[in-house]
Amino acid sequence: MQNTAEDISNAAKGHKANLSNPNTSEASKAHSKEVLDSMPDQPFYGKEDQNASKNPNQVAGGLKATLNNDSIPESGKQKAQEKLDDM
């Protein structure tokens, strides 16, 4: 296995899935927890500031769409409104 960012991320996903799987042994879960605890707490790949590459007009449009979507709970609409106000 290579140690690319994607490989590390995939390994973390597998260990996280193992922890929540009721069909795996306690020894296996303990091993997965040890591996996850030894991994860094930072993201494995992606830009450090992902918001820097986002188009502000598209972000605003998405937030406005959230405000008008009836299937979004009121708490989600409030968060969208707060983000929109901060722009």
Q: What was the pLDDT predicted at 55?
A: 86
- 1 pLDDT tier (thresholds 50, 70, 90): low
- In the chain, alpha helices (H): 5-20, 26-38, 56-67, 74-86
> What's the predicted TM-score (pTM) here?
0.46
Q: Does residue 6 or residue 11 have the better pLDDT?
A: 11
Nearest to 19 by CA among 2, 40, 27, 41: 27
Core vs surface per residue 7-42: b (16+ CB within 10 A) or e: ebeebbeebeebeeeeeeeeeeeeebeeeeeeeeee
Minimum mean pLDDT range among 2-6, 9-13, 48-52: 48-52
Mind listing the pLDDT tens digit for each residue in 26-79? 999 999 999 888 887 665 555 445 555 678 899 999 999 999 999 999 999 999
